[in-house]
Amino acid sequence: MAQQETDQRIDSGASGAEPEDGSAVDEHGFVVDTEDAEARELAHRERGTSRPITVVGNPVLHRECQDVTEFDDKLAALIDDMFASQHTAEGVGLAANQIGVDLKVFVYDCPDDDGVRHVGAICNPVLEELPPEERHLDDSNEGCLSVPTAYAALPRPDYAVVRGQDAKGRPVKVSGTGYFARCLQHETDHLYGHLYIDRLSKRDRKDALRQMAENTPRYEIVPND
């Protein structure tokens, strides 16, 4: 997911956790993704290699990705590359198919509405359905690294819970509010073949694609044939 047009303050979180381990969980199975966030993100991207971003129209973005079944060094290297790619593109979330890899995994480095920084990776994510009384919509602007330079208002619930697996295959949950909730929903959508512009009206989708066509991204993309 692209950063919002307005900057947000990011709190690096508490220090003391091992930078290599981003998969600690609390007693309820939720990922502890705020501790030592800066050091963990830096460790990932220093090991990784930045890759160009696929954009709308590339077939890998428009179909459901394959489940992650091997939680090995190859997956760990992919996650490192995803963090490096996300940083280069100045994003707050990145799905594997956005660098052309057909696997259900996304990474994030995203603040919530209190400015607290969340850093992590989740495989095989499933968005939990909220009961109606917990569905409070936020219609803020949304952007996407795969629809570069375009933004549009899109209503989404301001709270989200995603369950899946960490990089070692252990079951985990991630929860978020506000901007981070939007990120979790946006990235899960990607892995099921949906871009945020697919949720817009025809007029707003057309306007987003116009914005993309009229501007030049600040990062390398994979041109569509």
Q: Tokens standing for 72?
A: 């090995």
Exposure class string for 11-21: b at 16+ Cβ within 10 A, else e: eebeeebebee
Q: For tokens 């290297």, what's the residue? A: 77
Q: Would you report the helix, strand and coil content of the chain in percent, each value rounded to 5?
A: 30, 30, 40
The answer to whether 5 is a known catalytic residue is no
The span from the first CA to the last CA of the chain, in angstroms, equals 24
Q: Name the catalytic one among 5, 134, 187, 220.
A: 187
Tell me the C-alpha distance between 66 and 189, whole Å: 14
Which residues carry out catalysis? 187
